[in-house]
Chain A
Amino acid sequence: EPEVTQTPSHQVTQMGQEVILRCVPISNHLYFYWYRQILGQKVEFLVSFYNNEISEKSEIFDDQFSVERPDGSNFTLKIRSTKLEDSAMYFCASSQNTNSYEQYFGPGTRLTVT
């Protein structure tokens, strides 16, 4: 069964450094998403991406965040200058098309900012 994959599984970085989290969505899916879950808190929406542009974003997704689909398979989330409060699990998800509401999640990347 096709699945969303994410790399790395765990990333440790120092405050102020840039990080790039990588995702490979399910191959025939057209919509891509990033969510995060801070320890002990809810899963929160960050951004959705379709047709090479952002379709929706939350208040969390400020100027330090960016997303990109650099090729036909990868979808990345970049955090330009990490802060301690960026420490969280970051989940990538994808969905098939406009009429498909189910989003399929990857296993997540645990980001630890020290």
Chain B
Amino acid sequence: DQQVKQNSPSLSVQEGRISILNCDYTNSMFDYFLWYKKYPAEGPTFLISISSIKDKNEDGRFTVFLNKSAKHLSLHIVPSQPGDSAVYFCAARGAISSGSARQLTFGSGTQLTVLP
């Protein structure tokens, strides 16, 4: 079951540069998307989200873009900092009518390493 896919298992960027993490989904019933960050031995930490009726949401250094026609979203981090090094998960939520509005479907994650 690959409803949410993160095709890049790892990404390395230089401190101060932009990090772009990508996510694709196949289920057209998803109506809300979230990004989580996870450090080793900790639970996922909520970062930023976007509704399917929007195409961009920004919060400080983090911006999420949604291309609904392509079923693609991306997380931009600018400028990247060494403390951003973590695994980033894309997650999606089903619409109320889908019967799966309370469950998040996660991607496999991308390990971001920000090099000083």
Contact = CB atoms under 8 A, between A and B. Distances in A.
Contacts of A104: 46
Interface stretch (B12-20, B21-29, B68-76, B101-109): B101-109
Given A102-B46, A103-B46, A56 B103 contact: yes
B48 to A, nearest CB: 9
Interface string A98-109: 000111111110
Contacts, number: 56
Contacts of A31: 102
Q: What's the interface size class on B, roughly?
A: 20 to 34
A99 to B, nearest CB: 11
Interface residues of A, number: 25
Given A48-B103, A107-B42, 8 more contacts: A33-B102, A42-B106, A56-B100, A91-B43, A101-B49, A102-B34, A105-B45, A108-B41
Interface of B: 32, 34, 36, 41-46, 49, 89, 91, 93, 99-109
